[in-house]
Amino acid sequence: MQPIRRALLSVYDKTGLVPFARVLAQAGIELLSTGGTARALREAGLPVVDLVEFTGFPEMLDGRVKTLHPKVHGGLLYLRGHAEHEATAERHGIRPIDLVAVNLYPFEETVARPDATRADVVENIDIGGPAMLRSAAKNHEHVTAIVDPADYEEVAAQIQAQGATTLELRRRLAVKVYARTAAYDGAIAAHLPRWLGAGGGADLAADDRLGGGAPPDRLIVDAPRVQALRYGENPHQPAALYGRFAEHFRQIHGKELSYNNILDLTSAATLISEFRGEAPTLAILKHTNPCGVGRGASLCEAWEKALATDRQAPFGGIIAVNQPMDGPCATAIAEIFSEVVVAPSFTPEARAVLQQKKNLRLIEVSMDSHTAAGGEIRGVGFESLLWQQPDRATVRARDQVKVVTKRAPSEDEYQALLFGWRVVKHVKSNAIVYAAADRTLGIGAGQMSRVDASRIAVWKAGEAGLSLRGSVVCSDAFFPFPDGLVAAAEAGATAAIQPGGSKRDAEVIEAADARGVAMVFTGIRHFRH
């Protein structure tokens, strides 16, 4: 095992730096450093050689050039024991650097700052750091490369025990280096177009009603692992959570979230965000589909209306509300078994009630999370990914729809249509929702034909003892034939909302007129496959 003779320390994040450097110094390892890192080490009483002294070349261009020197990269890259490399190093006065501890300028943190300027962003693109790390990692047979302060302890332990690191550890650290530099470059490539006004990134400023946005030329995913999960959809599938989940959701009670919990609660949060800033609204979801949605003068009233849609499916489901969860509603929902409750916040009274259920997960969510930048990515196997802009299209007012029948909807029908349309958007297609102005009455999800979805919705309403007379019917896509509209009218619906766009629209409109059904077109489809 080859001993470590010289280490180069140059870190932005100085967590654990001094204790680690002290171990190196006690082992007789010469410390090279730059700028603030060198100052921190000297203040701790450790001997440090400035890199400019080591290279014989000054820092220049406001620190942009300080580590980009042959004596640095030569010392990292030359193969120890290789006759030609050793001779070249000797001829040019290149001395070995056997360990590098470097972490990078905070580019990701900088672009997230609301007060960041273009100059701030550009100056926080690290050049020397990634270059040194990549050189050291490439030569991992001889050089230890550390990019994460969390690895100081293991490296220090090996140096204390044997004066060197094992090849196995150096290989692991090299892989970690390339993962970090790849993510770092990916973050730059993903964010820089927005700051420079250059192409290649998605246009997030497009019309929100229509979704908008263009696919990026190259899909770059930069998502750190934030949580290992027990398993995926099924116990035999390993799984983990990546990204910025914790910035939008905060768990305040209950056992660890599962893969399926996360699928359900994010679907619930997205649905309930449709009703942000409105009257108390509550949604119950199961397997990412809404079972019932209700609106009332209070959350408790909204709960009763949502539950009335389907009293069986909510068992083990997800409950989401658009207002702080209060004590009366908490007491009501505590009567059934739920997996997760999602709310902007929980009152002390609500927490006192719900925290009696030790396994119930309570999640606080930002009601504006649905507006977060970025697209939706779905793996489809075959080493392929699909990308799309999130479906942010919405219809909230009657002037956003087109009346296509002889009869226009009444005021009550309009209220029901606009309510149900925002719910059907979140039901797996083919999707049919029967609704009143303040509640869902029957939901049919995920069927191979629209007529079958309608039949299921009618059956569910019957099972719940709810009348569909005077209801409205909402369809996520156009009725391809009049039969779906006819079935809705026979079930009691008096108004319908759908995208329109079928070559048989005229036949569907004629069938609606014949039955006195008012119908509006949105021009927007909401498929959820």
> Are 6-194 and 239-368 in the same CATH fold?
no
pLDDT on residue 204: 36
**What tokens does 47 get?**
């001997």
Choose from 39-48, 67-76, 175-184, 411-420 the range with maximum mean pLDDT: 411-420
Other Cβ atoms closer than 10 A to 242: 12
User: Taking residues 106-122, what's their average pLDDT?
Assistant: 84
CATH number of 239-368: 3.40.140.20
Separation of alpha carbons 316 and 293, rounded Å: 16
Task: Give the torsion sign (CA, 394, 398, 400, 405).
Answer: positive
Comparing C-alpha atoms, which of 473, 529, 476 is closest to residue 501?
476
pLDDT per position as a tens digit, 6-28? 999 999 889 999 999 999 999 99
pLDDT on residue 220: 74
pLDDT on residue 383: 85
pLDDT per position as a tens digit, 447-480? 998 999 999 999 999 999 999 999 999 999 999 9
What values do phi and psi take at 349, rounded to 5? -65, -40
pLDDT grade for 518, boundaries at 50, 70 and 90: very high
Task: Give the torsion sign (CA, 343, 348, 354, 355).
Answer: positive
pLDDT on residue 316: 92
Q: Which CATH superfamily is domain 398-521 in?
A: AICAR transformylase, duplication domain (3.40.140.20)
pLDDT on residue 198: 52
pLDDT grade for 309, boundaries at 50, 70 and 90: very high
pTM of the model as a whole: 0.77
pLDDT on residue 207: 36
Domain 6-194 CATH assignment equals 3.40.50.1380: yes
User: Taking residues 401-418, what's their average pLDDT?
Assistant: 97
The DSSP annotation for 289-339 comes to EEEEEEE-SSHHHHHHHHHHH-SSTTTTEEEEESS-B-HHHHHHHTTS-EE
Residue ranges in 425-527 assigned as alpha helix (H): 450-463, 482-491, 505-514
DSSP symbol at 65: B
pLDDT on residue 94: 86
**What tokens does 282 get?**
């509550």
* Residue 205 pLDDT > 50: no
Task: Give residue limits of the domains in the chain.
Answer: 6-194, 239-368, 398-521
Residues marked as catalytic: 138, 287
Average pLDDT, the chain: 90
